[in-house]
Chain A
């Protein structure tokens, strides 16, 4: 019955209006009152000089972050014969090469531990950093399609790369555990500090990735320079050699590299090397936090124009 009256009304309006098809929209039932909740307001304004981090928005985008990370991991080893085994092969090969040339040939001092395990306890944390930075630097440019077609918190894009590196790290960490057992290294109480060093490392990695990826949008030179940049950073970090080789004044400069403290700290936590890493760690954590904060601010400033330039 109701339908009939509605129909009648519809017909009358139809005959009154000149362009009847257009009035269809008017005749449709209005949205139910339940939809009339207080709607969130989205404001669109010109770029601001600085933007703070919208943590709520980032938290709401956690599923997107998860899927972006998952996609990167899933896609990376598709159509490759060895697949995810590459996560283990890469550090192993590096270890072999360095053990031969630095350990055997150059007889690099290793703070009393066997060279392979000395190197490996630093190589695995270093690889986390190197992977984050080298994969993260071009993340905005390779995800150009996404940036230009949909809105999502831009910080999620480099963060997904860092989480991807973290996934690789968690797998290679198991290899490290096997190595430690093989060399019969007894775990010490220092091990409890490991998460702290990893936190400093992640801060440094995120900061560097935010800086580099945001700059890469404007200047593709970054992508080209990255392998070289990472290599230099590798030699500036005591991975293949002990930090005790660096003396006096240089030791202070050395600490400006956030990875120096991280790597020494990790080694100390796992091997219980005699020299205390804390002076290096203190410097490194200050630098890492500064790098993270400046990286976030720079990224947020630049992200307002990403879609126009990328």
Chain B
């Protein structure tokens, strides 16, 4: 009985629009009657399954991720859980007060001022007027829009609009929050702020179901996730396994034209492996690469570390090398990896020697960084160490303490 959301065999059909008949151009009475009856009874057209027998459970206090390609049924799932639309069959139960954020700025009206919209939108999203008044200053401070509060929001820039809207949303206090991609708003600073706010809300005990394409977010904030495809749950488990399933889906969906283009590539990676499958933040990493190069052109090796969503951490390039019998090979060592414990991808590639360093062929392997690091802070992006030179004279030390 510690579940927050229980989803049991949810299925949802939608109707596809009716195709206009070829001779439907000439209006006839029977035609009108038929159309009216289709409209009223909502029939006609063909059906498709947006959700197909979806079941999962979310534990109380978790951040639960939902990933999947476009059209996989993520939004339909969210709409059903938010009670915006009803399932065709199956059922779901949610324990606690629910707030849903399916878009940023629900309930905003362009003609009203920022202040008015805070109240309007807050109320529509489920806040009591008294709560809005109580937290009004907090909301405004979070949005950093103190000066534009009495301007109609139609005069806001899109960034300002989104900031105010998100600030309202961030101050909801439900037991369960359903959110769809809304964190991808604002500039980088505001996005970081939003993500931290979400973490903070979760730490206070809020259960969050998050639909997103941001794999970094899935990996770093979610405790569990599911991956959906064609209306079904195709993976359910810890974020990493779900992310790799998602990646596999995307890789398999290459179309034939792309495949053909791949075969014509000027180079091919033959092998890429690293000495260690697992490393720690302060230790080294050695990798080996071998590639075939079609024509005898010069190439550079590249080694790159990315997050599972392909966010680049760094790339290092070799000097240009000349293939021997159409082959190039190398051993490369990074003295200190300096990454936080977590999951990464190690990419090896051969690139053109020109200015743009076009990648000719690439491959990747998973890389695990583990181990304990001193003074690990959960929000850090990179690990590093420094040589500290601190005078140890007694007077100075005590003075610092007094301060």
User: Which A positions have Cβ atoms within 8 angstroms of B?
Assistant: 11-12, 14-15, 17-22, 24-26, 28-32, 35, 39-47, 63-64, 66-68, 70-71, 74-75, 78-79, 145-152, 215, 218-219, 221, 304-305, 307-309
Instruction: For A25, give its contact among B62, B343, B376 (CB under 8 Å).
Output: B62
On whether the beta carbons of B205 and A31 are closer than 8 Å, the reply is yes
User: Is residue B219 contacting chain A, with contact meaning CB distance below 8 A?
Assistant: yes
On whether the beta carbons of A218 and B40 are closer than 8 Å, the reply is yes
Which residues on the A side are within 8 Å of B94 (C-beta)?
41-42, 44
Which residues on the B side are within 8 Å of A43 (C-beta)?
91-93
How many chain B residues touch A (Cβ–Cβ < 8 Å)?
69
Complex Cα gap A219–B82 (Å): 26
On whether the beta carbons of A148 and B42 are closer than 8 Å, the reply is no
Instruction: For B14, give its contact among A15, A41, A308 (CB under 8 Å).
Output: A308
User: Is residue B283 contacting chain A, with contact meaning CB distance below 8 A?
Assistant: no
Which residues on the A side are within 8 Å of B240 (C-beta)?
19, 22
On whether the beta carbons of B220 and A24 are closer than 8 Å, the reply is yes
Q: Which of B61, B102, B120, B123 has the most CB of A within 10 A?
A: B123
Interface residues of B in 175-211 (CB under 8 A from A): 175, 202-205
On whether the beta carbons of A218 and B202 are closer than 8 Å, the reply is no
User: How far, in Å, is A73 (CB) from chain B's closest CB?
Assistant: 12
Given contacts A21-B378, A45-B91, A304-B86, 20 further A-B contacts (CB under 8 A): A14-B372, A20-B341, A25-B223, A31-B61, A39-B95, A40-B95, A41-B95, A42-B83, A44-B87, A46-B88, A70-B120, A74-B111, A146-B106, A146-B107, A148-B84, A149-B100, A150-B100, A150-B124, A151-B98, A305-B85
Which residues on the A side are within 8 Å of B219 (C-beta)?
19, 21-22
A–B Cβ pairs within 8 angstroms, 14 of them? A22-B222, A39-B97, A43-B92, A44-B86, A46-B88, A63-B128, A66-B123, A68-B124, A74-B111, A150-B107, A151-B100, A152-B124, A215-B40, A305-B86
Instruction: For B102, give its contact among A24, A42, A150 (CB under 8 Å).
Output: A150
Instruction: For B205, give its contact among A20, A35, A47, A67 (CB under 8 Å).
Output: A35
On whether the beta carbons of B85 and A307 are closer than 8 Å, the reply is yes
Complex Cα gap A221–B36 (Å): 9
Given A21-B340, A148-B84, A149-B106, are A44 and B91 also a contact pair (CB < 8 Å)?
Answer: yes
Interface residues of B in 30-88 (CB under 8 A from A): 36, 39-40, 42, 60-63, 79-88
On whether the beta carbons of A75 and B91 are closer than 8 Å, the reply is no
Complex Cα gap A305–B11 (Å): 15
On whether the beta carbons of B92 and A44 are closer than 8 Å, the reply is yes
Instruction: For A21, give its contact among B61, B129, B341, B372 (CB under 8 Å).
Output: B341
Given A18-B368, A26-B223, are A150 and B82 also a contact pair (CB < 8 Å)?
Answer: yes
Cβ-closest chain A residue relative to B239: A22
User: How far, in Å, is A64 (CB) from chain B's closest CB?
Assistant: 5
On whether the beta carbons of B203 and A219 are closer than 8 Å, the reply is no
User: Is residue B342 contacting chain A, with contact meaning CB distance below 8 A?
Assistant: yes
Instruction: For A18, give its contact among B123, B370, B372 (CB under 8 Å).
Output: B370
User: How far, in Å, is A137 (CB) from chain B's closest CB?
Assistant: 16
Complex Cα gap A46–B11 (Å): 9
Complex Cα gap A41–B221 (Å): 26
User: Is residue B234 contacting chain A, with contact meaning CB distance below 8 A?
Assistant: no
Given A25-B222, A46-B87, A146-B107, are A15 and B372 also a contact pair (CB < 8 Å)?
Answer: yes
User: Is residue B158 contacting chain A, with contact meaning CB distance below 8 A?
Assistant: no
Give the 10 A-B residue pairs with the shortest CB-CB distance, closest first: A31-B205, A20-B341, A25-B223, A39-B96, A44-B92, A15-B372, A151-B83, A39-B95, A21-B342, A42-B94
Given A21-B220, A32-B205, are A44 and B81 also a contact pair (CB < 8 Å)?
Answer: yes
Instruction: For B371, give its contact among A15, A19, A28, A74 (CB under 8 Å).
Output: A15
On whether the beta carbons of A67 and B93 are closer than 8 Å, the reply is no
User: Is residue B238 contacting chain A, with contact meaning CB distance below 8 A?
Assistant: yes
Interface residues of B in 228-267 (CB under 8 A from A): 238-240
Given A14-B376, A44-B93, A218-B42, are A71 and B112 also a contact pair (CB < 8 Å)?
Answer: yes
On whether the beta carbons of B123 and A64 are closer than 8 Å, the reply is yes
Which residues on the A side are within 8 Å of B123 (C-beta)?
63-64, 66-67
On whether the beta carbons of A74 and B80 are closer than 8 Å, the reply is no
User: Is residue B161 contacting chain A, with contact meaning CB distance below 8 A?
Assistant: no
User: Is residue B282 contacting chain A, with contact meaning CB distance below 8 A?
Assistant: no
On whether the beta carbons of B80 and A44 are closer than 8 Å, the reply is yes
Cβ-closest chain A residue relative to B122: A67
Which residues on the B side are within 8 Å of A14 (C-beta)?
341, 372, 376
Which residues on the A side are within 8 Å of B223 (C-beta)?
22, 25-26
Which residues on the A side are within 8 Å of B42 (C-beta)?
218, 305, 309
Which residues on the B side are within 8 Å of A15 (C-beta)?
370-372
